[in-house]
A and B are shown apart, each in its own frame.
Chain A
Amino acid sequence: MFYREAGQFKTTYAADMAIFPIRQDRYGLAVILFMAFVVIPALGNQFLLNTMMVPFLILSLGAMGLNILTGYTGLLSLGSGAFMGVGAYACYKLDTYFPQVNILVWIVAAGFVSAAVGVVFGLPSLRIKGFYLAVATLAAQFFLDWCFARIPWLVNDNISGAIEVPTRTLFGLPVTGPTATPATRYLVVLSIVAVMTWIASNIVRGRIGRMWMAVRDMDIAAELIGIRLLRAKLLAFAVSSFYIGVAGALMVFLWLGAAEAEAFNINQSFQLLFMIIIGGLGSIVGAFFGATVLHLLPIALRALPSTLGVSIEAARIEQLTFMITGILIIVFLIAEPHGLARLWATAKQKLRVWPFPY
């Protein structure tokens, strides 16, 4: 009833192959974009913007990058935290050397640096796969962790080994540093994430995405039909690390405002991995679902007792959050191993014929 497609017919191939062929989907997307760009910054308070939305968007971007590698190409990677770090430190160094260039240029450029590093660490994927590749990426994670901590040049020889983000402006408004308003930062992050999501969803629906999925399903067969595994896998590493690197640069410049090597450790890698597991492997929108469950839900859980008027100690809340997250992971895997994205797709499918069963 909602998705009445009667009367919507396509007259061109392009229209038929569009990402959102049904008009209701396009309206829905417009509503979401309107809420995101207009309603939330206008009505949201500082906590909502600073602690909920900006990290949610950045983590979704990172999860999207990891999904490209693990979900679409089937290469399990445990080094995503370190690649975020590569993007962050690259952006910082580029900004140090050329402070007059707009920071957004450097954020995107940092993605390219991260992509190059990702390709280098992705070379073992040509010989090893599955669990063993995960361990190789773990090696990348620990090695890069060590580099962040031990190479003083990366932090401009700062005593503490941490980087402080300088104030940079865009159209005269500060977007990084302590004077940047939450609304400005939110809008900048939202724009970048929206554009990159659009690019990602087009890539994965096209020839390249199909190539990756073929490699994921059965790489020997893919090779037999003419897909060059070297190019496909390295391209996956490159694109994935690009996204993750941009997410890392955004995290340091527009969210935390400072960074130390600990911010990019193995726990960050696990957080991104859990996000795509719960959100759904092999799905762009799954990254957003995963970030909702793994980032927004613990915040809501931490805020819940005080809102309900029940007082539980902060440490207890932390421990309960861990347990609830773990239980949720298991429950989701049992109910829907393909993640929330599959649930969402099924729901939309049901809605197309609702109220009829089929």
Chain B
Amino acid sequence: MDIPHAVFVDPFAQMIAAPDLLAQTIWEGFVGGALYSLIALGFVLIYKASGVFNFAQGIMMVFAALTLVGLHEKGVPAFVALALTVGVMYALAVGIERFVLRPLVNQPDIILLMATFGVTYVLIGFGELSFGGDPKSMITQELYLPSGSINLDVLGGRVQLQKLDIVAAAIAILMVAGLALFFQKTRIGRALRAVADDHQAALSVGISLNQIWVIVWFTAGVVALATGIFWGARSDVSFALQVVALKALPVLILGGLTSVPGAIVGGLIIGVGEKLGEFYWGPLIGGGIESWLAYLIALAFLLFRPQGLFGERIIERI
């Protein structure tokens, strides 16, 4: 009597009793989901174009944010620092292509995945060496990102929308839309998809693998920079941020590893689902279930639709 009531009735009663909290929770979930989808976008980009699961995406995000803030600390004006950071991400893309991807052409995927583990370690060490381990504040003011919040007195209470979150969500959706169009409509997008399918076949029709890889890792680097700016603005820029990237994995599973719109849809579902679950059902089992709830949601999806909502069907041949 007690347990079914607590699980199935009480949370909904709470939701109805305090609708402003419900709206706030959904908004927080929405924002969290949009930010997760930004991270997932980086993964999707690289996977779609080179078939590599880039484990280093999280650390690239931290590294990009650190470079931006670190350069600014040394006295470089904000937008110049931004441009320089974009340049650094380009150099990183060239470096990874030259030293990691080129020697490992056509190796099985798991080898490339492991190579990205190596890149992660190198970036952690190098990032700490260059910029120090202390957490730094993101330079939101200098980048003209708004701060403060919009308070809506609706639903019998108060719903707070942080202006920064609104901008973050908007940029996430814009990036997703832009990249989806890029992959579908442009020539380079087609070339990227060809490379993802089969490296050797792409080579044989004259697509320059090296150029494509540089482009794709550079784009992923820029996405990582945007992600880093917004995550860093919410909480400080430090290496503790890197574990957030692991949260993107359930998003990828839900949305499909190769789908750009899937990243945002998956992100929103996971974000909202996770926050609602944590807020209303979490206290029943002691709280803190946010750390694994997303995976549970993703697993449930996996059992019914292994390729995710928008992913390509996995066809196995003997």
Contact = CB atoms under 8 A, between A and B. Distances in A.
Interface of A: 76, 124, 127-128, 131-132, 135-136, 138-139, 142-143, 145-146, 149-150, 218, 220-221, 224, 266, 270, 273-274, 277, 315-316, 318-330, 333-334, 337
A330 B53 contact: no
Interface of B: 53, 99-100, 103-104, 107-108, 110-111, 114-115, 117-126, 128-129, 133, 243, 246, 249-250, 253, 257, 285-286, 288-289, 291-292, 295-296, 298-299, 302-303, 306, 316, 318
Contacts of A329: 114-115, 117-118, 121
A333 B111 contact: yes
Contacts of B53: 131
Contacts of A334: 100, 103-104, 115
Contacts of B114: 274, 277, 329, 333
A135 B250 contact: yes
Given A124-B302, A330-B115, A146 B289 contact: yes
Contacts of A333: 104, 107, 111, 114-115, 118
30 contacts: A76-B110, A135-B295, A135-B299, A136-B295, A139-B295, A142-B295, A146-B289, A146-B291, A146-B292, A150-B286, A150-B288, A224-B318, A266-B243, A319-B129, A322-B125, A322-B128, A323-B121, A324-B125, A326-B117, A326-B121, A326-B122, A326-B125, A327-B122, A329-B114, A329-B121, A330-B100, A330-B119, A334-B100, A334-B103, A337-B107
Nearest to A131: B53
Given A132-B302, A218-B318, A323 B122 contact: yes
Contact of A320 (B125, B249, B296, B302): B125
Contacts of A324: 125
Contacts of B99: 330
Contact of B253 (A135, A142, A321): A135
Nearest to B130: A319
Contacts of A270: 117
Given A135-B253, A146-B288, A124 B117 contact: no
Nearest to A76: B110
B93 to A, nearest CB: 16
Nearest 9 Cβ contacts at the A-B interface: A326-B121, A322-B125, A139-B295, A329-B118, A323-B125, A326-B122, A330-B118, A142-B292, A334-B103
A246 to B, nearest CB: 25
B303 A127 contact: yes
Given A132-B306, A224-B318, A322-B125, 12 more contacts: A128-B303, A136-B299, A145-B292, A149-B288, A150-B285, A266-B246, A315-B128, A326-B117, A326-B120, A329-B121, A334-B103, A337-B104
B257 A131 contact: yes
Contacts of A323: 121-122, 125-126, 129
B117 A321 contact: no
A221 B291 contact: no
A297 B264 CA distance: 42
B54 to A, nearest CB: 12
Nearest to B307: A132
A127 B118 contact: no
Contacts of A315: 128, 133
A48 to B, nearest CB: 26
B42 to A, nearest CB: 16
